[in-house]
Every structure is written in C-alpha cells, then in structure tokens.
Amino acid sequence: MRDQSPRPSRRGVLFGGAVVAAGTLAAACTSNSEDDAAPAAQAGSLAGDNDKPGMQVTLGFSAPAADHGWIAAIAKNAEAQAKKYQDVTFKPVEPTNDINQQISAVESLIRAKVNVLVILPNDGEQLNQVARKAMDAGIPVVNLDRVFPDKLSYRTWVGGDNYGMGVSAGHYIGKKLKDKGVSDPVIVEIQGIATLPLTQDRSKGFADALKSYGFSVTAKQDAKFTVESGNQVATNLLQAHKKIDAMWNHDDDQGVGVLAAIKQSGRKEFFMVGGAGSANAMREIKSGSGVLEATVTYPPTMAASAIKLGRLIAQGKGMTDLVELQVPQSITLASETVTKENVDKYMPLGFES
C-alpha cells in the first residue's frame, strides 16, 4: 500500500465509496430580493444532474504497473468509471514502476493538452515537479492517494485514511479482547514496508486505539506488501510466540501469504484482522473457516472517485451533495470494518489479490 502522507507505496487500501453525484443542491439566500435569489437558484440547478452529458472532456490517467492486486484494481476502477460517461475520452498512458518513465508519460499527456489529469504517482515527491508543470499549463491534476508534497501541484487530492485503518483495526481487536476479559494479551502486527509514512500512520492509529483499552502491540514486523514476505514473517511470528491472542495484518495482498502460513501451522487460538478489503479476504471472512474475522478498508474505488472528480473539475461543476460550487481540495475516504455480519454489502467493492 503506499508512501507519503496518505500514500500507499504500491497499493494501500479504503473505500468510503465513490463520490456520488446525487440529490439537489439547496440554494440559500440571505436577501429578500427575487433578483438576488436568482443566481443562487441557477447555481443550484447547474450543480445538479452532474451525471448528465456535458462538455466533452479528455481525461489523462497515469498509475504504477499492476504488479499488485490493489494497483490492478485502481486501473480497472478508473477505466470502468470513465466508460460510464459519453462526454469523457479516457486517455491512459502505459503503467510503469519506473519513475522517469512515468514522468515522461505524464509529460506526453501535458503535450496532448488533456483537459484534466488523474495521477497516482509511484512516488509523490519525485513526480511533484511534473504535476506542477501540468498545473502551470492550466491542466487540473487530481492527485490519487500518494500525495504530492506541493499543494500547487494538484487541484484535488483523494485517497484513503491510513491512520484510520489502524484505528479501525485497533478498536475491533481491543473491544473483542476486552469483552472476552483477556488481560495482558499477545497482539502481533504485520506491517507493509516499515519505513513508509503510510505504514507508520497505520501503526500509530493501531497503537492509539489499543491504548484506549489498556493494550499494546507485543511484536511487529514488516512484510513488504508481498505474498512471499507475508508468509515468511507470519511463520517467524508464529514460531516466536507460542500463544497469540490477536493479529493485525496491514495488507490483504500480503495476507495471502500470511494466511497460508497460519493454515500450515494449524494454529487457531487467535483471531486476525486484515487490511484493504480484498475479495479473497472477504470470502475468507464470510466462510468463517479460519482465523480471519475482519478486514479494514482502503478501497481502490478511490480511482473511480478520482475520475468523477476530474470530470466535474474540467466541466466547472461542484458536487451535488455539497453547497459549495466547486469540488473540494481534499477528500479522505473513511476506513470501514468488514465482518461476517456486513461482508455481503462490501463484497462488490473487493479486489482480487
């Protein structure tokens, strides 16, 4: 999952749901004059019906290579959303994990004079300058997930809540252990890449939530967001702790390896919470056959939201659920907890690891 502020190094993963253009904007008026009221009413009607065809928009899109389930889902969500609009021409460039190649690809979109750019950078800091170049050229940039450090480099940022993921996982684990009357529990944490700010945010949210129950993390180790590392790290933790009460794994993609290690060990004395909201994790939760009881979301549907926002920005529209006439500068999606009780509701939003 991600890097930088709210960024996932390669993936990250919350849902919260795509931005929905629905409802009618209520126009407020502080004057008794009918003439003064007219512009507000007009603005309200302009902000409504946002999904109806409008000005033609060419939307450029750039993201890392789909070598990870979450990143693959990002590209699929973006393309699927763009196809819903007959007034959008979707212009994706070749996905790549090479910083210089992504910079060149974005520069090609700037030269093509697209109306708006949606960019999930491999590295926000290293692509900051080319994003600023687009903005200076009059092309609004929707910064997806991995944030550019310079706010002048993007018109709007949309992404997940890494700290919130940790909080959600911590509350699920803390409450369950407290309700069971467990004292001094052994809680282990499997991170993504420990040096990334996003991972540190997740760990801090987790620790802060656990603290409210009087608990703390017993041991944690990072697994690099890969299935192989997830398997090895889980094996190491299982060998090091003969009894575990709860486990939080930051990432459902690496969780494939984590779950394989747990099943091979035959251990069932603890319960586990995942992270991101993959379809395979949700199927495991629904089956109730293993230790995985919940996952906290970091949804790739944020890419669909970014496409919706990019189209609105290019067409000069606001969001119909808000009073303001322009799209907000920043949107952080909520991290939600998926359990056996609500898994059917979230299953359509899951991605394949």
Task: Indicate if 57 and 170 belong to the same structural domain.
Answer: no
Asked if residue 89 belongs to a domain, the reply is yes
CA distance 9 to 4: 8
Asked if residue 55 belongs to a domain, the reply is yes
Asked if residue 10 belongs to a domain, the reply is no
Give the pLDDT confidence of 186-214 residue by residue, as tens digits: 999 999 999 888 899 999 999 999 999 99
Task: Indicate if 199 and 78 belong to the same structural domain.
Answer: no
318-329 mean pLDDT = 94
150-175 mean pLDDT = 98
301-314 mean pLDDT = 97
Task: Indicate if 49 and 137 belong to the same structural domain.
Answer: yes
Q: In this predicted structure, what is the pLDDT of residue 197?
A: 83
Q: Would you put residue 20 in left (φ > 0), alpha (ψ -120 to 50) or beta?
A: beta
CA angle (31, 36, 38) in 5-degree steps:
125
Q: In this predicted structure, what is the pLDDT of residue 160?
A: 95
Residue type, 269: E
Q: In this predicted structure, what is the pLDDT of residue 330?
A: 97
- As for how many domains the chain has, the answer is 2
Asked if residue 13 belongs to a domain, the reply is no
Task: Indicate if 194 and 232 belong to the same structural domain.
Answer: yes
Task: Indicate if 237 and 274 belong to the same structural domain.
Answer: yes
Asked if residue 78 belongs to a domain, the reply is yes
| 169: pLDDT strictly greater than 50 | yes
Q: In what order do the strands lie in the sheet with 156-159?
A: 88-92, 57-62, 116-119, 141-144, 156-159, 330-332
Q: In this predicted structure, what is the pLDDT of residue 68?
A: 83
9-22 mean pLDDT = 34
Task: Indicate if 151 and 239 belong to the same structural domain.
Answer: no
Lowest mean pLDDT among 40-44, 123-127, 337-341: 40-44
Lowest mean pLDDT among 17-26, 94-103, 321-330: 17-26
Residue 242 CB partners (closer than 8 Å, separation 6+): none
Asked if residue 237 belongs to a domain, the reply is yes
pLDDT-derived band at 33, boundaries 50, 70, 90: very low
Q: In this predicted structure, what is the pLDDT of residue 49?
A: 82
What proportion of the chain, given as a percentage, has pLDDT over 70? 86
Q: In what order do the strands lie in the sheet with 219-222?
A: 219-222, 187-191, 246-249, 271-276, 292-297, 337-339
For residue 204, the domain's CATH number is: 3.40.50.2300
Coil, strand or helix: which one is 328?
coil
Structural domain for 310, as ranges? 34-159+301-333
Asked if residue 346 belongs to a domain, the reply is no
Q: In this predicted structure, what is the pLDDT of residue 48?
A: 56
CA angle (15, 17, 21) in 5-degree steps:
155
Reported as half-sphere exposure (CB side, CA atoms, 13 A), residue 195 has a value of 1
Asked if residue 179 belongs to a domain, the reply is yes
- Which candidate, 142, 104, 148, 106, places its Cα nearest to that of 123? 148
**pTM higher than the cut 0.85:** no
Q: In this predicted structure, what is the pLDDT of residue 23?
A: 34
| 32: pLDDT strictly greater than 80 | no
Task: Indicate if 195 and 86 belong to the same structural domain.
Answer: no
Mean per-residue pLDDT over the chain, rounded: 88
Task: Indicate if 126 and 59 belong to the same structural domain.
Answer: yes
CA distance 46 to 312: 11
Residue 2 tokens, joined: 């991600």
Task: Indicate if 151 and 167 belong to the same structural domain.
Answer: no
Task: Indicate if 62 and 125 belong to the same structural domain.
Answer: yes
Give the pLDDT confidence of 257-272 residue by residue, as tens digits: 999 999 999 999 999 9
| 18: pLDDT strictly greater than 80 | no
Which strand (E) or helix (H) includes residue 284? Answer: helix 279-287
Q: Which residues of 276-315 are buried (b: 16+ CB within 10 A; e: fewer)?
A: bbbbbbbebbeeeeebbbbbbbbbbbbbbbbbbbbbbbbb
DSSP for 113-153?
A: T-SEEEE--S-TTTTHHHHHHHHHTT--EEEESS--S-GGG
| 42: pLDDT strictly greater than 90 | no
Task: Indicate if 276 and 175 belong to the same structural domain.
Answer: yes
Task: Indicate if 151 and 176 belong to the same structural domain.
Answer: no
CA distance 23 to 282: 31
